[in-house]
Amino acid sequence: MTTSFNRKEVARAFAHPVAAAGLAATLERSVQSAHQARAQIEWETLRSAAHDVKAYAIANLDRLLTQFESQFTQRGGGVLWAQTADDAVAHCLDICRRHHATSVVKGKSMVSEELGLNEHLSRAGIDVVETDLGEFIVQLADQRPSHIVGPALHLSRQDIGKLFVAKLGIEYTDDPQTLMSAARTRLRARYMQAQVGMTGVNFAVAETGTIVVIENEGNGGLSSAVPPVHVFLMGIEKVIPRLADVPLFVRILARAATGQKISTYTHHFLGAEEGKTVYCVIVNANRTKLLADPKTRQSLYCIRCGACLNVCPIYRRAGGFAYGGTYAGPIGAVITPQLTGINQAGELPFVSTLCGACQDECPVKIDLPHQLVYLRHRAVEHGAARASMTSRGIAAWARAMRDLPSYQRSVRWLRRAAALGRRIGWYPGVLAAWTKSRTLPQPPKESFKEWWERTR
């Protein structure tokens, strides 16, 4: 899996203008919905408050994690720690073996995508089915999710109709209600058969060991309630300090994500009831890299609402697959380089105009555009970008700007080059990328400096 920016995916997205326009319109509606929902409440105050709670939680992460572990185990749950993705997968396989599991049902978990968990379970002979409708669809299609909240938004209803004919053997329909019913029926049987249910975590409350999971479909509820074993998968950053902090996040998450006032199901898992075995796998998988750098630390505040994706002009055009990894959009561009390694994903932060729309949307006020430009600096430091033409160009240009005489020489050279370019109708390299669809301004005979000198 490559994690640098995938231009072929962009080209593919551009090659389907109708589908692309549909997705862009869908995302625009999400943004408008979110804005309406936010206008009903004291949004700026709440997002500042949420930012502060997350800042505190992240700054005290070790203490809160151990507090959470203690509380969770007191209420009958088992806590397992995973330093790496492999550790986490090993825990999951171990749990399945211990409980003789041949069938697993999964609620939405982005971290499990990072781990490639489904593939590992399948290879161990365990049948694993995604129960969130969007995840179920992309699983059938053998694709990765393209959006944090709506994994299958890149597919049309016709695409899904054809997919269900092929994979579920139903008659063709493109009616979303009918398609949902087909998935519901198929999944009912799977919930009943499964020995293990796995879900993600929205918030893990340190004070009481309570886990909050938020969803609309009810598949999270069923995945956690029906099978006798329930496994929570969470990144270390999901901890919040107190139960009293929950209402704040409940108030802002759905509004940012979908424009709803609240999601249909806000679960607070209190502890393992009789006859139930519960585990929580706490996963690092390079999150401490994000934590260690004060300039990237805020990216751990993310509550995975997807709002930054919805508003990003790049995401809307390029689509989720262009980002190459588990996470797309601005948050994807910010965390992927650290989670998977700068050299692999170093290009992602460059695919942005740094417009800052993402920060405006973020319900926890993460300074995304600043992190993007900082990660460009890290990529250059790592040598990921240093050898390129651009780098050499920048270095040369900075030298040219060092003092006035050098600057004036460069300006004269530029004017001659521009005149030449106009005469022959061709510009080199990067300028060709400009002139393909845009006219180039011609430098006037006299620069401002020259005018100033002449007239003052």
Partner 1 sequence: MNDARSGVLAAVREALMDLNGRTRTPPPPTIFGETDESKATLAQHFATELQAVAGRAFIVRDRAECGAALASYLLARNVRSVAVQSSPFAQDIALQLDGFGVTSAVNLDRPELERCDCALLEARSLLADTGSATVILDNSQDRVLPYLPRTCAIVAELDSLHATFTPQALECIADTASAGARGEALIVTGPSRTADIEKVLVLGAHGPGALAVFIVEQP
Partner 2 sequence: MAATFPAPVQYEAGEHVALFLPCYCDVLFPDVGKAMVALFSRLEVPLEYPMEQTCCGQPAFNAGHWDEAGYLATGFSRVFAEYRWIVVPSGSCGAMARTFYSYMDPASEAAGVGARVYDLAAFIVNVLGRTDVGAHFEGRVTYHDGCHGRRELGSSEAAITLLKAVRGLDYVELPHIDECCGFGGMFAVKYPELSVSMGQAKCAAIAQTGAQVVTSGDSSCLMHVEGLMRASQPATKSRFMHLAQILAAT
Query: How far apart are the C-alpha atoms of 130 and 156, rounded to whole Å?
Result: 19
264 binds, among partner 1, partner 2, none (CB under 5 to 8 A by kind): partner 1
Least distance from C-beta 377 to partner 2, angstroms? 4
Binding segment for partner 2 (CB under 8 A), chosen from 82-90, 211-219, 247-255, 364-372, is 364-372
| Contact call for residue 49 and partner 1 (CB under 8 A) | yes
Site residues for partner 1, 243-272, by CB under 8 A, read: 243-248, 250-251, 258, 260-272
Which residues are bridge partners to 291 per DSSP?
none
Task: Tell me whether residue 231 or residue 311 sits nearer to partner 2 (CB atom).
Answer: 311
Task: Yes or no: say if 379 and 342 are a contact pair by the CB < 8 Å rule.
Answer: yes
Least distance from C-beta 326 to partner 2, angstroms? 22
Among 365, 417, 422, 424, binds partner 2 (CB under 8 A): 365
Query: How far apart are the C-alpha atoms of 242 and 67, rounded to whole Å?
Result: 11
Least distance from C-beta 54 to partner 1, angstroms? 10
Site residues for partner 2, 105-134, by CB under 8 A, read: none
Site residues for partner 1, 201-220, by CB under 8 A, read: 208-210, 216-219
Query: 27: burial class by Cβ within 10 Å (0-12, 13-18, 19+)?
Result: buried
Measured in whole angstroms, how far is the alpha carbon of residue 62 from the centre of its chain? 24
Query: How far apart are the C-alpha atoms of 279 and 270, rounded to whole Å?
Result: 13
Task: Yes or no: say if 407 and 401 are a contact pair by the CB < 8 Å rule.
Answer: yes
Please name the helix (run of DSSP H) or strand (run of DSSP E) that holds residue 53, with its range, or none.
Answer: helix 43-59
**3-class state of residue 398 by DSSP:** helix
Q: What token pair was written down for 80?
A: 């397992």
Binding segment for partner 2 (CB under 8 A), chosen from 197-205, 232-240, 242-250, 347-355, is 347-355
| Contact call for residue 403 and partner 2 (CB under 8 A) | yes
Query: How far apart are the C-alpha atoms of 221 and 77, rounded to whole Å?
Result: 17
From first CA to last CA, the distance across the chain in angstroms is 61
Among 146, 208, 326, 359, binds partner 2 (CB under 8 A): 359
Task: Tell me whether residue 149 or residue 308 sits nearer to partner 1 (CB atom).
Answer: 149
Task: Yes or no: say if 142 and 122 are a contact pair by the CB < 8 Å rule.
Answer: no
Task: Tell me whether residue 7 or residue 157 sits nearer to partner 2 (CB atom).
Answer: 7
| Contact call for residue 430 and partner 1 (CB under 8 A) | no
State the chain's maximal CA–CA distance in angstroms. Answer: 90
Query: How far apart are the C-alpha atoms of 230 and 253, rounded to whole Å?
Result: 24
DSSP string, 194-247: -SEEEE--SEEETTTTEEEEEESSSHHHHHHHSSSEEEEEEEGGGEES-GGGHH
| Contact call for residue 228 and partner 2 (CB under 8 A) | no
Measured in whole angstroms, how far is the alpha carbon of residue 73 from the centre of its chain? 30
Task: Tell me whether residue 215 or residue 347 sits nearer to partner 1 (CB atom).
Answer: 215
Alpha helices (H) along 206-245? 219-225
Binding segment for partner 2 (CB under 8 A), chosen from 138-146, 219-227, 267-275, 401-409, is 401-409
Size of the site for partner 2 (CB under 8 A): 65
| Contact call for residue 192 and partner 2 (CB under 8 A) | no
Measured in whole angstroms, how far is the alpha carbon of residue 381 from the centre of its chain? 25
Alpha helices (H) along 341-403? 342-345, 357-361, 368-381, 389-400
241 binds, among partner 2, partner 1, none (CB under 5 to 8 A by kind): partner 1
| Contact call for residue 29 and partner 1 (CB under 8 A) | yes
Task: Tell me whether residue 221 or residue 443 sits nearer to partner 1 (CB atom).
Answer: 221
Binding segment for partner 2 (CB under 8 A), chosen from 68-76, 96-104, 243-251, 448-456, is 448-456
Site residues for partner 2, 276-335, by CB under 8 A, read: 313-314, 317-318
CA atoms lying within 13 Å on the CB side of residue 308: 26
CA atoms lying within 13 Å on the CB side of residue 234: 25
Site residues for partner 1, 301-360, by CB under 8 A, read: none
| Contact call for residue 282 and partner 1 (CB under 8 A) | yes
Q: Residue holding tokens 């430091």?
A: 381
Task: Tell me whether residue 259 or residue 332 sits nearer to partner 1 (CB atom).
Answer: 259
> Which residues contact partner 2 by CB under 8 A?
10-11, 14, 313-314, 317-318, 350-357, 359-360, 365, 367, 369-370, 373-381, 385, 390-391, 394-395, 397-398, 401-404, 407, 411, 414-415, 430-431, 433-434, 436-441, 443-444, 446-449, 451-453, 456
